[in-house]
A and B are shown apart, each in its own frame.
Chain A
């Protein structure tokens, strides 16, 4: 089968799912459509023979981040009634802003996509090639992004930990001890 047909089909599915994310009134449906979008993007990566990128996209985005999204949405119990209604001026502003973004993206990627398709060999996206490149040519950026991730992680833990959490724990333990003695 001609890869072009597969690409067209995949692109169609991707855009359809992405549109449903925006159109759907139910946030859970939106998230599920977003998961499908990630799946079809992974399929695009497979088509370019960048297997590692495809599976990492699945593990990180579809498998972890989207699970957390769904997790939080299930707790919030959002539905049509609780959806805040935006005024027309807001909607117009958002439409113009995203339209500008679309124009810029299309203008940049129109010629960029040719580059990806013409990559010298099909092994560029395999784990071995990618790993060797990351640990030789791009070692410094790679290590720096690692430090950035660590900083973000520490920040997230710090934000997630409420002030005086430890004191409260101690208080509860003391209470329990008191209760037992009494």
Chain B
């Protein structure tokens, strides 16, 4: 029994990692296509039909480029930096529920690697640790621009983590549980449309803004601001180490989209999921749920790209003002209002 559980989870982890990496690869292609669409261009169209082999070509180029480690860099920490960024990006997906249960040969298989008691806190923990990849890499490069990038990244992460956590508290108060599976199942009422976004619109906006900042996406990409810092924390990086940093950003984007879909957009719930036909075909229901989940994730990813190619970058003081004087008071107000509402009117 125990062995089959380990086998089942291992296969799920393997599939999830493969999907995450595959999606991250094609997000680079998606980003260019969306950018081209928004700027009225064609985008990559040389490698394969519609340029769909472009990511493979890019990865090939990354691997074969010459690898340089600066003479005065801290060699081991320089190598460790992109490694941490990549690992922390990959392990976050463990607590995200991707769909309901599958029933195969009398066994119920949960489409979630670990339904731990602390689900959402685990994600917050890994996100807060993720900044070390940028910090250590930026410092080890022994370059003042890299160091500036690293310092900006750490202060930005700490500032926006606070507002993110405060926005999250309101949702946790409503669901009464930290497990992501529980939070998603709570939103299955009203024929699968009782999503948290209808109760927490302000919280959703705060969380979304913070997610943009935590993934270092424009307009919050101050750590790698080309106009001021050359390439920011990855100025000295080349070859696949640079690739890892860029790749980690796309994985983070994918995972944070999945988290937002789970917390605010009902996760794998969809309107009409309580139809009678589904109760006799649970596997079909699960498969459609996975599809719905990925559709929501894709929508968020498109929003991320849309924002990147629409808004200009913030100035550094504007970033700090928005975080500390804008989002945190708003998030606290949101928390107090949610608490008061629950006290007066019940859930």
Contacts and interface: CB of A to CB of B under 8 A. Distances in A.
B118 interface: yes
Contacts of A75: 151
Given A28-B139, A74-B147, A58 B117 contact: no
A54 B74 CA distance: 31
Given A35-B132, A59-B125, A67 B118 contact: no
A126 B117 CA distance: 7
B118 A74 contact: no
Interface in B108-162: 116-118, 121-122, 124-125, 128-129, 131-132, 135-136, 139, 147, 150-151, 154-155, 157-158, 161
Given A74-B147, A127-B178, A67 B154 contact: yes
Contacts of B128: 58-59, 62-64, 67
7 contacts: A52-B117, A58-B125, A62-B125, A67-B131, A67-B135, A67-B158, A70-B139
A119 B158 CA distance: 36
Given A28-B77, A71-B135, A127-B178, 7 more contacts: A52-B118, A54-B118, A55-B125, A59-B124, A71-B154, A75-B151, A126-B117
A7 B95 CA distance: 24
A55 B155 contact: no
B235 to A, nearest CB: 15
A55 B151 contact: no
Nearest to B140: A28
A58 B135 CA distance: 17
Nearest to A26: B74
Contacts of A32: 77, 136
Contact of B158 (A62, A68, A126): A68
B121 A55 contact: yes
A126 B116 CA distance: 10
A127 B129 contact: no
A51 interface: yes
Interface string A45-68: 000000110111011001110011
B252 to A, nearest CB: 15
Interface size class of A (residues with CB under 8 A): 20 to 34
A88 B292 CA distance: 68
A58 B178 contact: no
Contacts of B125: 55, 58-59, 62-63
Interface of A: 28, 32, 35, 51-52, 54-56, 58-59, 62-64, 67-68, 70-71, 74-75, 126-128
Contact of A56 (B116, B121, B151): B121
A56 B124 CA distance: 10
B158 A64 contact: yes
Nearest to B131: A67
Contacts of B124: 55, 59
Nearest to A38: B129
Given A28-B139, A74-B139, A51 B118 contact: yes
A55 B94 CA distance: 15
Contacts of B150: 74
B213 to A, nearest CB: 15
A152 B151 CA distance: 25
Contacts of B157: 67
B129 A58 contact: yes
Contacts of B154: 67, 70-71
Contacts of B129: 58, 62-63
A70 B121 contact: no
Which of A52, A58, A62, A128 counts the most B-chain CB atoms under 10 A from its CB?
A58
A130 B128 CA distance: 23
Contacts of B178: 127
B173 to A, nearest CB: 12
A64 B161 CA distance: 10
A127 B139 contact: no
A56 B122 CA distance: 9
A54 B124 CA distance: 13
Nearest to B135: A70
A63 B125 CA distance: 7
A35 B116 CA distance: 23
Nearest to A58: B125
B121 A74 contact: no
A75 B147 CA distance: 9
Contacts of A63: 125, 128-129, 161
A71 B116 contact: no
B129 to A, nearest CB: 5
B155 A71 contact: yes
Contacts of B161: 63-64
